[in-house]
Amino acid sequence: MRREGLQIGRIYGIPIFLHTSWFLIFGLIAYSFVSEFDSLHLDLSTPQLWSLGLMTSLLFFGSLVFHEMSHSVVAKHYKIPVVSITLFVFGGIARISRDPSRAIEEFNIAVAGPASSLFLAGCFWLLDRSAGSNAILHALAGSLAFINFSLALFNLVPGFPLDGGRLFRAIVWGITKNYTRATRIAARAGQVIAYGMIGLGALLAVMGYKSNGDVMQGMWLAFIGWFLLTAARQSRAQVDARGALEGLCVSDIMSGDLPTIGREISLEDYAREVLRTGRRAHLVVAHGQLVGLMTAERLHAVPQHDWDVTSVQAVMLSKDKLPWAAPEEPALSLLERMRSVGLQQIPVIAGGNVVGIVTNDSIVRVLQSRNELASAPGR
């Protein structure tokens, strides 16, 4: 298990994860397929219906992996490392270590997903057409053709950060030659579309309730709209953060307050230190020398009943594996590195000595200060 979920394998060198929410949606989708196939009167027993439903559900999620792999292959073509692919409640997401450097790269990476879903829809449609009198194959292929076609159309909706929203950003980026401005425009468009989905979903849910019809369809649409609204806001916040950090170096955003702990203390004692200070990261020292980094994430990776018999040294990130930053490194460069390796904090080293630490909290404090200064009266 990792923060992304349960790793189930690698494809093209990219780790594939299942988020915990995937197991819920997998069961719901399998059940919906079973209900659909049962209504077709395929003359199948209950175990056979569930086998067909589970197989169709697996093929559907395989289609999602193919969709995300298409994004990833194009990204790797442009020398953009792909960190992972994660399947979760809304489908899938390919996490890349950095944003594309040109509008055409963004466009090609984004369009690869819907194009792959349309390709699969065509393949399943041809299989459906050639099924003949095989009602089971006809039901399976027809369902997957419709779902992949719907997936392609949905992802083409210009709501950032859907593929359509990224296509829209790429087009605006190409016209304006300004990545930050394009992201803000795409994020605002994504928020408008998200509000529209929430409103339409709420309306459908109310209409379904009054007519004793399907309420869940409207609620699900509203839920997806809420998810897109949150994602669009986060994207806007990220680009604003990039603008605020532009021109700064690591020494400008690091904290000189270096919380330290000894490597010999137990995780039970470390948990008390985290609760006492509210700090989620500590440098681990021995005889005055840095030996590693301990974080709340690593603490919670160990079962609580083992905390009193496990030392910090046993679970810390050791110094030889610890990424670090130089004070003169650009802040944006460090932010990209932290995102690519999934670190929430990183020490700053100069002349062989730790002179500071950069954490999410220290970055947020800098952003808040700059935002307050920018919004001060008279500026």
Beta carbons within 8 Å of 73's beta carbon, 6+ residues apart: 12, 112
Beta carbons within 8 Å of 359's beta carbon, 6+ residues apart: 255, 280, 281, 344, 345
Counting every residue, how long is the chain? 379
Q: Please state, in angstroms and rounded to a whole number, the distance separating the CA atoms of residues 146 and 144.
A: 5
Element spanning 295, H or E: strand 289-295
Closest Cα to residue 331, out of 301, 282, 365, 375?
365
Strand partners, 150: none
Closest Cα to residue 257, out of 219, 239, 276, 283?
283
Query: Catalytic residue at 68?
Result: yes
Catalytic residue among 4, 68, 105, 106: 68
Q: Please state, in angstroms and rounded to a whole number, the distance separating the CA atoms of residues 244 and 370.
A: 7
Contact 254, 357 (CB under 8 A): yes
Q: How far is CA 360 from CA 146, 206, 255, 304, in A?
A: 43, 42, 11, 25
Catalytic residue numbers, as ranges: 68
